[in-house]
A and B are shown apart, each in its own frame.
Chain A
Amino acid sequence: MKLTAEDRRALDGERGEAARFALSVVVRMAEAAGAEELLSIEQAHIDACALMSRSSLDLVSHLAEHGGRVRVPTTLSMVSLDLEGWKSLGVSPRFAATASRIAQAYLELGCIPTWTCAPYQGYLTPRFGQQIAWGESNAVAYANSVLGARTNRYPDYLDICAAITGRVPYAGLHRTENRRATVHVHVERARARDWETPAAWAAFGSLVGSLALDGVPVMDGLPAFRPSNDMLKAFGAAAASSGSIELFHMVGITPEAADLATAGQGRLPSNACAVARRQLADAWDELSGADAGSAVDAVILGCPHVSYAEFAALSEAIARFGAARIHPNVQFLVFAGATTVELARRGGLLGPIERWGARIVRDTCPFHSPVVAPTARVIATDSGKCAYYAPGELDVRVAFGTLDACVEAGVKGRMPRREAPWRAR
């Protein structure tokens, strides 16, 4: 292992116990990965702060009490709590106390309290080619693929060790040669009108994740328009759930894929497959485990956290139902980062959404914080990631659909029966 003089001093404890601990973990992980040297990073995003366990608190406390300080700008993913609104969400004071202690310890390390799983939505957005260390699978997919920054999917605790040391194993997607497309996915006969919603791109992502598994897919044959950030977010989150996609390329859309040859770094991907309309429709249907037209107990939006544009779309969808309010049997939850919530408030979007009866939940996530009613049996969502994890994590069945369908479910208490876009004529 090639180490700098500064690395060696840190390992000898000259920069304190927290730096020694963190670099020791990074070096041992580099050895396990077969990396021969370390790489300096310019930014980090921490996912481990969402974890509620004694060992999670022990680890961050150890680092904070021994003078740990992050060396690069470091944002934070969710904490297990809406830090300001937890009381009215029915979270127990004991749970809140532990989550708050964990949150406070990460702030003591110098992290920035963004508390969002979608850190690419507005603050400290990484630049093209920048070497970063990010946790949280959807954020990793977005940073690598859409922004062209370079990160591996850092497992929990290696992320904070990387932030404290500013060093990572020089391996995986930090290296140009590993960013080459390995699986070519050609979409057949794409019609723009089937691809108009983030939900459609989530279904596509779910399919690509199951086809490419842990490879680097490159897609072509896509409809002739520029997908929105929310569409790419939905795609990546779903692909990183059904598979382990950390980087994807879309020809003519993402920055390392001007054409197929560029994405393949001069070679054709070793695997190729074509995706027909029927497969896309099946992938959409597979995200729903609930029967068509099911009664819905809860609606979950914001997995990953909603953007300003999604707040606006939600507000417009609500307005289409006139004076109708949320059905009394439905808990309608919108998960978002505090920055976006504040922007939505300033933009006048929040009032109508809250008056309609939706609950805005900041800083956290339906799987890490006990906010979805434990009695819920069926949830509706427009997120492929949520649809993938909710059955196991929340013990519910999922009704998957567009944002508009989710709003209709909120009003009527039932998911409308609508066919997958690729099945409709």
Chain B
Amino acid sequence: MKLRPIVRGTAAGAVLRSDQSVSLWGGVDPASGTIIDRRHDRHGESIAGRVFVLPGEKGSSTGSAVLLELIRIGKAPAAIVTRHPSPALTLGAIVAEELYGKSIPVFLATEAGFRALRDGERVDIAEDGEVRRAAARRP
């Protein structure tokens, strides 16, 4: 399976999958990465270190600032994979790279790719967007 790289980079981690878009501002605690939007299906879980798979962003255009802060303190997801273009998330990752010299990759998935990523599975994502399931690797 291949994803389209929007902000380039590699990632490894367990998938945190949601079928709901999220507004990072007001939806995710910028000090911890925990989802605090009580209407969200993954409320109470942390996006830190996870491959965060979701339909897209919604609501406030302050999401970029929350992602920048999460990257600064090391509580950002390992990667973000969205079904729909998400400019605020993309921007947060780009500004982090320019300002702090560190960032996370952002990928766009097709409908099939989006459905294929299962919650909890460990994946490696290459810079070109190629996804490998960690469990399927042979020594």
Give me the interface of A with B, judged by CB distance under 8 Å: 21, 24-25, 28-29, 32-33, 47-48, 51, 53-56, 58-59, 62, 135, 137, 153-158, 241, 244, 389, 392-393
Contact = CB atoms under 8 A, between A and B. Distances in A.
Query: Which 8 A/B pairs are nearest by Cβ-Cβ distance?
Result: A155-B61, A155-B88, A155-B64, A156-B65, A55-B69, A53-B69, A55-B68, A55-B72
Interface residues of B, number: 28
A32 B26 contact: no
Interface string B58-79: 1111111100110010000000
Given A33-B85, A393-B26, A155 B59 contact: no
A157 B58 contact: no
Nearest to B67: A55
Chief secondary structure at chain A's binding surface: helix
A54 B99 CA distance: 12
B75 to A, nearest CB: 12
Interface stretch (B9-17, B45-53, B90-98, B125-133): B90-98
A29 to B, nearest CB: 6
Interface in B81-124: 85, 87-88, 90-92, 94-95, 98-100
Contacts of B87: 29, 32-33, 155, 158
Contacts of B88: 155-156
B91 A55 contact: no
A15 B28 CA distance: 37
Contact of B90 (A29, A48, A62): A29
Contacts of B60: 137
Contacts of A153: 61
A53 B99 contact: no
Contact of B99 (A58, A135, A155, A241): A58
Given A24-B98, A29-B91, A55 B65 contact: yes
Interface of B: 6-7, 26, 30, 37-38, 58-65, 68-69, 72, 85, 87-88, 90-92, 94-95, 98-100
A48 B65 contact: yes
A33 B106 CA distance: 13
A25 B7 CA distance: 12
15 contacts: A21-B98, A25-B98, A29-B90, A32-B85, A47-B62, A55-B68, A135-B61, A155-B88, A156-B61, A156-B88, A157-B64, A157-B65, A157-B68, A157-B91, A392-B37
A182 to B, nearest CB: 16
A154 B88 CA distance: 8
Nearest to B106: A32
Nearest to B30: A53
Contacts of B30: 53
Contacts of A21: 98-99
Nearest to A241: B59
A48 B69 CA distance: 13
B15 to A, nearest CB: 23
A32 B90 contact: yes
Contact of A56 (B6, B65, B85): B65
Contacts of B58: 244
Given A47-B62, A153-B61, A25 B85 contact: no
A28 B94 contact: yes
Given A32-B87, A32-B90, A155-B88, A59 B99 contact: yes
Nearest to B89: A155
Contacts of A51: 62, 65
